[in-house]
Amino acid sequence: MLKRDKWRLMLVVAVIIVAVAVAFPIKGKVRLGLDLRGGVHIVLQAKETPGNPVTPDSIDRLLAVLRSRIDQYGISEPVIQKQGDDRVAIDLPGVDDPEAALDLIGRTAVLEFKQVLGASPAVPPAPIRSNYDSDAQFAEYQERWEQAKADVDTYITEMEEAVKSNPDMSVAKGAESGAYLLGRTYVSGKDLTKADTTFDQFGKAAVSLKFNTDGAKLFDEATAANVGKQIAIVLDDVVISAPVVQQRISGGEAQITGRFTTAEANRLAIMLRAGALPVGVEILENRSVGPSLGADSINAGVRAGLIGTALVVIFMLVYYGMLGVAADLALCVAMLLVMACLIALKSTLTLPGIGGIILTIGMAVDGNILIYERMKEEHKSGKTIMAALDAGFKKALVVILDSNITTLIAAAVLFYFGSGPIRGFAVTLSIGVVASVFCNVIVTKTLLGIILANRKAQAL
Amino acid sequence: MVTFDASKFNLPFMKYRKIAYAISLTAILLSIGLLVVKGLNPSVDFTGGLVFQIRFEQPVEVVNVRSSLSEVGFGQATIQAYDDHDILIRLQAEDEEARKVVLDTLKQSLGDFTVQKIDKVGPVVGKELRQQALISLVLALAGILLYMAFRFRFRFGVAAVLSLVHDSIIMLGMYSLTGKEISVTFIAAVLTVIGYSLNDSIVVLDRVRENWSQIRGKGPLELVDNSINQTLSRTVNTSVTTLLPVLAMYFFGGEVISNFAFAFIIGIVVGTYSSVYIASAIVADWYLRSPKY
């Protein structure tokens, strides 16, 4: 063995050892994207609301409130970051219930206790087909219900018209139906010191509140002035309930009941504790993946990868024989390097990223094919087998670099412009390309040097 | 060890190049026709909208899903069933309420389910993603063109570019034909395929260049034929080895990856054909018309 070959062999062995040390045991080491482990990705756009302009300061406060809500909700490893001037990107891995997470994040959660000046009639529940014997009957009730709904809508529109000229009054929709005509705000969520989930006397979930000194005083006055009348509890401009005040409440404690489930009451309590969002938010983008779908995707991806690898390995063995063995070993090393690089670079593996890896399996042996075909030609033209080996590698190298450079150009553009999952694809593709060039040029050559030198093979 | 040597066959590719031109031209015209008449099916990434993937506990029928969605005004939603439990719903809706309304309605009328996936893209983001996709396509193409300008002489470069354009149009045509979704991952697949299918053109055209000294004796047609045959086994083998795992992705990789793989399959097959036929035939015919190098 030539001295040069010895060095090359040592390099290959060293790289493999390092890669194995980095990559094994592989379980839990690769950072998975939200599309694989399940979770919620949300992009929020801060929206100006009257009196709450979007400023760098309000965005910072927005981030703080969101962080506090998410932490209290108990999500591990959330990522909450500012995007541009007025956007916030949030990644919540491993969330089972995306709906709940969206509710937790997207709600402004401005709580107000307001004076009730009037209310529209309520809309009766819509008819459901299965409750009626015939289509005709159903249609009749449907029509009647629509008429009732239209009446209520007209009533609400009239109320809205009426309050336009009066800044002290407002109209807010009820949680179920209808609307309320509201007067002044007595006390708001800003004056809370505590909010907890509790249960009312009927065992239904509720949120108990404790006001600070100012709030307690205001609440005391409000209840004193409204005994026998309704006070509206308004959350984000929706009246969640409007209980009749039985008696004056001076302790600074109150309870919100409504149609909550325990989970909803929990979230509301968290939102009230963490505070209202300083500006309104709109959900620009929301991508949620359930954990089972993510697991399915990984399984399907791994299966496709294994089948793909097997097909390529068999093809190379059948077509190229001994040379194929070297190519297959080099392919295994390439895959090992891809995984090791993913782990070492702490890149996130996404679903398209898995696609990128599988694609690399096919592209990795391309280099071997180019080299081997060239070797055959050189051998046919009369060169000895070792000379053909050298010439094959040298001449094929240009083409191998060519093909991989064009792929890298595409990957670089994708990395620069792509978002999450696509970026994952660009990363695995680039890593795959670099790893396969290394394996084509260095690993295969080393292996062939050893195999051919020992076998003294005379034919290719 | 040599089991097969394609160059021995010496296939007369150039003899049939007129037929190949005709096929390609027809495919291109059909594709353009499809794109004009039927258009593409952009995913919510680009249009904005709402996609749900839902697994019902009880088997459900698309008809029932549609009728219950119609009740709340989403009758025009695209509904697709993977199997009797898994349904994909896509609708155009901007506000947050739509999501709740849809899920509540389905729960009421069709029983319990788990939401496997929600994709909601607002119109603003949709527009941004469209722009990003366009910019990345243009930039990647520019990068590849630049590389080719540096790598090939003029005529070879033009031939390679034409075959790339040929591939891209047919790929879009296939997507129009099958109605498959054009999503952000499709753009990624297209860029990768463009980068990849150039390889075959490079292999063939490089050999043409190497053999160019024989142009006076053989003439362009025979020379190109020889070059194609000499490189045929590597052209075919590199395509086959890439196609094998891509086929595995298509059949076993699950919905998203399978869609992704479809683009690669078309790209690899059409790309291999075009680098053998279109790119090298253009070089040969160009020389026949004006014998310059």
What ipTM does the predicted assembly reach? 0.85
pLDDT digits (tens, 9 = 90+) for B18-76: 898 999 999 999 999 999 999 888 888 888 888 888 888 888 888 888 888 888 778 77
Which of B190, B280, B192 lies closest to B235 in space, CA to CA? Answer: B280
A381-to-A307, A388, A390, A448, B5 alpha-carbon distances in Å: 37, 9, 14, 20, 14
Is the Cβ of A425 closer than 8 Å to some Cβ of chain B?
A: yes
Q: Which residue has the higher pLDDT, A197 or B26?
A: B26
CB A240 within 8 A of CB A234: yes
Higher pLDDT, B95 or A355: A355
Smallest Cα–Cα separation from B133: which of B145, B125, B123, B121? B125
Confidence at residue A310, expressed as pLDDT on a 0 to 100 scale: 94
User: Does domain A111-259 bear CATH number 3.30.1360.200?
Assistant: yes
A234-247 confidence digits (pLDDT tens)? 888 888 888 888 88
Interface of A with B in 326-355 (CB under 8 A): 351-352, 354-355
Of the candidates A284, A286, A429, which has its C-beta nearest B118's C-beta?
A: A286
Look at residue B254 and tell me whether its pLDDT is greater than 90: no
Structure confidence at residue B1 (pLDDT): 47
What CATH class has A3-34+290-455? mainly alpha
> What part of B 39-68 touches A (C-beta under 8 Å)?
53, 55
How sure is the predictor about A381, in pLDDT bands with cuts at 50, 70 and 90? confident
Predicted confidence band of residue A331 (pLDDT cuts 50, 70, 90): very high
Q: Which domains does chain B have, with CATH numbers?
A: 15-43+125-289 (1.20.1640.10), 49-121 (3.30.70.3400)
Is the Cβ–Cβ distance between A66 and A80 less than 8 Å? Answer: yes
Closest CA–CA distance from residue A349 to any residue of chain B (Å): 14
CB of B115 closer than 8 Å to CB of A98: yes
For residue range A218-265, list pLDDT tens digits in order.
Answer: 888 888 888 888 888 888 888 888 888 888 888 888 888 777 788 888
Quick check: helix, strand or coil at residue A77? coil
Is the CB of A106 less than 8 angstroms away from the CB of B96?
yes
Q: Residue B17: what pLDDT?
A: 86
Indicate the pLDDT class of residue A328, thresholds 50, 70 and 90.
Answer: very high
Express each pLDDT in A42-90 by its tens digit. 888 888 877 778 888 888 888 888 888 888 888 878 888 888 888 889 9
Arithmetic mean of pLDDT, A94-105: 80
Q: Residue A305: pLDDT above 50?
A: yes
List, as one string, the DSSP characters of A319-346.
HHTHHHHHHHHHHHHHHHHHHHHHHHTT
Q: What pTM does this model have? A: 0.79
The number of helices, as runs of H, and strands, as runs of E, in chain A is 13, 14
The closest CB to that of A363, out of B140, B143, B242, belongs to B242
pLDDT in tens, B130-141: 888 888 888 888
Label residue A2 by pLDDT band (50, 70, 90): low
Asked if B103 lies within 8 A of A99 by C-beta distance, the reply is yes
pLDDT band at A308 (very low <50, low <70, confident <90, very high): very high
Residues of chain B found within 8 Å of residue A311, distances taken between Cβ atoms = 244-245, 247-248
**Nearest CA of chain B to the CA of A345: how many Å?**
22
User: For B221-250, what is each residue's pLDDT tens digit?
Assistant: 888 888 888 888 888 899 999 999 999 999
Model pLDDT for residues A123-142, shown as the tens digit of each residue: 777 777 777 778 888 888 88
Secondary-structure breakdown of chain B: helix, strand, coil percentages, each rounded to the nearest 5 = 75, 10, 15
At B51, give phi and psi (nearest 5°): -125, 135
The Cα-based distances of A149 to A128, A144, A174, B68 in angstroms read 15, 9, 14, 20
Sign of the alpha-carbon torsion through A307, A312, A315, A317 = negative
What pLDDT does residue A316 have? 92
Where do we find the tokens 């756009």?
A: A45
* pLDDT tens sequence across B140-193: 888 888 888 887 888 888 888 888 889 989 999 999 999 888 888 888 888 888
B36 touches chain A (CB under 8 A): no
The closest of A399, A398, A383 to A452, measured between CA atoms, is: A383
Q: What integer pLDDT is reported at residue A170 of this predicted model?
A: 83
Q: Where are the domains of chain A?
A: 3-34+290-455, 111-259
A181 touches A118 (CB < 8 A): yes
**Mean model confidence pLDDT for chain A:** 84
At residue B105, the pLDDT reads 83
Domain A3-34+290-455 and domain A111-259, same fold? Reply is no
pLDDT class for B293, splitting at 50, 70, 90? Answer: low
Most confident segment among A133-137, A198-202, A376-380, A430-434: A430-434
- Which of B207, B232, B237, B258 should be substituted to probe chain A, the one whose Cβ sees the most A Cβ atoms within 10 Å? B237
What tokens does B26 get? 């027809």
* CB neighbourhood size of A187 (10 A): 25
Contact A437, A401 (CB under 8 A): yes
CB A392 within 8 A of CB A374: yes
Q: How many CB atoms lie within 10 A of CB A143?
A: 11
pLDDT at A276: 80
Q: Do A301 and B242 touch (CB under 8 A)?
A: no
